[in-house]
Structure 1
Amino acid sequence: MDEQPVTSHLTPLQGARDGQVYFQAHEVSAMLRNIAGSWSSSSADGDPVWDSPGQDPVTLDGPTVQTLAQVLARQADQIDMQCISMTSADPANPSQHRADEAGSAPQDESTDATALEHGALLLGTAERVFATFTGHRHDTDLSRQVIEVLAQAIDDPATYGEQLEAFAEKFRERLEAAYADYGPGRAHAAQDGRYVLAGQPEGLIVWERLSAIRSRIRLKIAWSHSDLPVSMLDDMAQAWGMTL
């Protein structure tokens, strides 16, 4: 890639009084992903990863370029994750901040009931769509544990069904291939109990959440705050053709 497309993605913020130049975080993370994508394409095509006027082009071997691209993509994810975490609290709700400072907030019965209702909605939707791919029986206890975490990465469980169905329809061939490789009874699934969520209906929700940047970051944050093993999410990302 050349120099111009990189700098053209950034717009300096006006009004800084300390003499420093600042940029919006989302522009920086987008720039990093743009560079990572360009590097990946360049390595695949055999082109230089950096070509600046008046300087010798920089050419690296494919594996090295891919590693560097992954590092940039992960750094972009970290920036977005930190920004989401910083803005996730409601500044207009002082009681929320007091509860956060105390370390935990008491939940009443209505809150628990709502959480159970949302979980049931999500699992019912996932089971219905999952049945269009396989009739495999799943572990309902595991489903409840994972759904509780996934619900934290979904804005409105009541309307999420349409979104999941649209995802399954758009990526049906890719999902069928993933189930063929990693689903129940497949060779990959037998490797030390890995890819267990590929045989679970809630695995569809995991793949849907992984398919967009913001939802992927929200999923990673929710997962990191749970007791579920990180390897379980990493396996699903790998089965979907990405790394976290």
Structure 2
Amino acid sequence: MKIKYALVTGGSRGIGKAIAKQIAKDLGYHILITYLNNDEAAAQTKAEIEAETDASCETLKFDVANRNETQNVLENWQEDHPDSIIEVIVNNAGVTHDGLFMAMSENDWDQVINTSVQGFYNITKPLITPMIRQRFGRVINIVSVSGVKGTAGQTNYSAAKAAIIGATKALAKEIAKRKVTVNAVAPGFINSDMTQDLDEKELKKIIPANRFGEAQEVADLVSFLASKKANYITGEVININGGLH
């Protein structure tokens, strides 16, 4: 029997960390987290998962936007783990470089698009075939309220997340018969590193729930979608935003 893993990109901090820990707790998957820079945070997340659950955790340091690097890391991991399979993919890695479109640099556009959109392809493409062959798998894409409704000052981020929403719906239709589900989770304002510089007091006024969400709330939803309880849910974009539409 194959040893089963869940892979969470951008899993060393914030929402990704919460997701990795919750999937390990709820579903018993061994965990792979990818990260780009923060060695200390990755090591801390690994230690917490292994201390708090029965799962093992491995950290993989690479840039999901870099196709060759991603391919090499995943191939090497699979060669080192011939009796293992990645059964759950959580495409969580993302960056923001906010600003008005008229003043947006090419780098700010490219980095945001490449991390989310190319990252989705680079991670999911090589891992989807084993899921299809075994007739079970989960692909869960973390998008954003910005990708659903658009946010001024985030044209790049809104475009990137909207692209992944379209990919989610299309891929879900392609592979549903193989019992592999593909869904997207669209958080609103969640307390995390990405929102720490925002004016929470002012922004709460436009959120019907009158608060920012917590990473744990997103993690609980993702863990459910990764479970067999969600077998009949695919191609969906589930908003978790306190009523912000």
TM-score of Structure 1 vs Structure 2, range by shorter chain:
under 0.3
Write 1 or 2 for the structure with the bigger share of helix.
1
Quick one: higher RCO (CA 8 Å, sep 6+), 1 or 2?
2
Greater strand proportion: 2
User: Larger radius of gyration, structure 1 or 2?
Assistant: 1
Give the alignment's TM-score, normalised by structure 1. 0.24
